[in-house]
Amino acid sequence: MDKISTLFERSRNGSITENYSENVLRPSLEWLATEKLNGVNVRLTVRSGNLVRLEVRKNPSAKQKEEGIVHSWYRDASTEGARDSDYWLWIAARNTPLVGVPDGEWAGEAVGPKIQGNSLDLENHVIYLFSLIPWRETLASSILIPPVLDRVPVTYEELEEWLPYQASKINGKVQAEGVVWWFYDEPVAKIKMKDFSG
């Protein structure tokens, strides 16, 4: 599982530059923009509208990276109980409507009060299934996917001016975290609001 590249290159100090990243295709009008969510990447296995497995994305450690392991993978979510770090992910998975979700393994972003600082200021834990974005037009409205955004700019100057004024489509009382662009059913680039504060 590859990480989504930032739309722009980074300088040595980590701040973004005005140059498009070499890892990203040149922006296209055919790209689909969605709201970027700040949560925990999980994968749900669904059968007949029921959750049968919950997994959590695992990134390689520094030592593993030195050994050449650079891609993330999913591990089974622990079921140890309320003291376990995966407890709130299970709550989110059980709160997520799955009726109408096709059978399969679907990646998503778990968000909520006890997850990643709750930047969306939500009252409940849920999972937005970003891997279902390619099928968004055929899904029931109850299925949670990250919101699609209209007329999103793709140049540095326009994004720097536009992004600070974008409220989240999930909770309009908070600022959007950023944007993820999709092309041919794959995420191809991302940008976060905090990328412009470096």
Token digits for 28? 């296209």
Average model confidence (pLDDT) across the chain: 91
Give which of 46, 47, 54, 59 is closest to 92, Cα–Cα. Answer: 54
Tokens 């975290």, located at residue? 177
Phi, psi of 126 (to 5 degrees): -150, 175
pLDDT-derived band at 14, boundaries 50, 70, 90: confident
pTM: 0.91
pLDDT tens, position by position, 65-97: 899 998 899 999 988 766 677 999 999 999 999
Residue 95 CA, chain-centre distance (Å), reads 18
Spatial neighbors of 33 by CB under 8 A, at least 6 apart, are 148, 149, 150, 152, 179, 180, 181, 182
Alpha carbons 127 and 138: distance in angstroms, whole number: 19
Model pLDDT for residues 28-37, shown as the tens digit of each residue: 778 999 999 9
